[in-house]
Homo-oligomer: A and B are copies of this chain.
Amino acid sequence: MANIRDVAKRAGVAPITVSRYINNSGYCSLEARVRIKAAIAELEYIPNRLASGLRSKHTNTLALVLTDITNPFFTTIARGVEDTASDAGYTVVFCNTDESVSEEQKYLHMLLEQRVDGILLVPALSTSDSVTFIQAHHTPIVVIDRRVSGVKVDVVRCDSEMGAYELTRLLLSLGHRHISILSGPMGVSTAEDRVAGCERALSEADIEDHGWQKYYGLFTQQSGYEMTLQALSNSPKPTALFAANNFIAIGALKAMQDLGVRVPEDVALVGFDDLPPALITFPFLTVAAQPAYEMGRKATRILIAKISAETTGEFHEVVLPAEIVVRRSSGQVIG
């Protein structure tokens, strides 16, 4: 495989000139450009980014570490990240942690080994260890989707507390007094914030007899299914369920189908995260929709700015609003 010296020799210039041509750095006469271009074509030369990165200390690579690439919410973030990164000349490495802290650590170490220029992280937990680790090694990092406590870091996320608050207000306005929230893992900020928003709406409502139950599980369909079985076996039975993410909502739907419970006639259902239009067979779920694509874009722009700026600067916290989309699953005003 040809290297830069071969190209230089063939074009009758010095290797550094070829380098400048390839990277558009420094000057290069038109005549030289033509000859270099020809030499590259003839030799089918492909620059070696490993060598380049070793020398120049940057790789034009970003990493997106997330918890589940099969979740369309994260897929949409990923698109936002890729589109933005690509426009700025960066390529993106994706890593799946499956909500596992040890997987997260493994990947982060690997990314430092690869000397990626920056990292976008959806942290498995809201503890600060991972962020601190990356910062200690002077790699720019932006946290997406979730809060992290006890550390200064850039964050781009959606206002889960407010979204949950509004969704719960909707249920209250429809007459529901017995609401169960089916949430994700404790220790994950989105799971906790959505419970908190729900709780705030209920306490503000100042209702005497409100049966309110909260369940912490996983952000999976399976877990949503199980939490629903539990929630509906309580008495008084809840008249509305609040699913803290899209997979939980679908698990809840499935459980209620299996139980012969009609939605929304018997039990109303609202959820977090909308599905992309291309995936919705029947528009049905009332949800708080997060601007996932925009979150990916914003986070990436901040990260790239950090990389270029050299200066650590101040830290941004961007909190975008969720949009309440009312569909059939939340039902009508109840008696």
* A interface residue numbers (CB < 8 A to B): 1, 44, 46-51, 53-54, 59, 69-70, 72, 75-76, 78-79, 82, 91-96, 109-110, 112-115, 136-138, 220-221, 247, 250-251, 253, 275-282, 284-285
| B residues less than 8 Å from A278 (CB atoms) | 70, 220-221, 247, 250-251
In angstroms, how far is the closest chain B Cβ from the Cβ of A282?
6
Docked-complex contact A279 and B279, CB < 8 angstroms: yes
Docked-complex contact B112 and A276, CB < 8 angstroms: no
Query: Contacts A53-B50, A93-B91, A109-B46 given: A221-B277 contact, CB under 8 Å?
Result: yes
In whole angstroms, how far apart are the Cα atoms of A307 and B281 in the complex? 42
Cβ contact of A70, chosen from B72, B250, B285, cutoff 8 A: B72
Which B residue sits closest to A46, measured CB to CB?
A: B112
In angstroms, how far is the closest chain B Cβ from the Cβ of A291?
15
In whole angstroms, how far apart are the Cα atoms of A54 and B51 in the complex? 6
| B residues less than 8 Å from A91 (CB atoms) | 93, 95, 110, 114
| B residues less than 8 Å from A50 (CB atoms) | 50-51, 53-54, 59, 114-115
Which B residue sits closest to A91, measured CB to CB?
A: B110
* 10 A–B contacts from the bound complex (CB under 8 Å): A44-B136, A48-B54, A48-B115, A49-B114, A50-B53, A69-B78, A250-B281, A253-B281, A275-B279, A281-B285
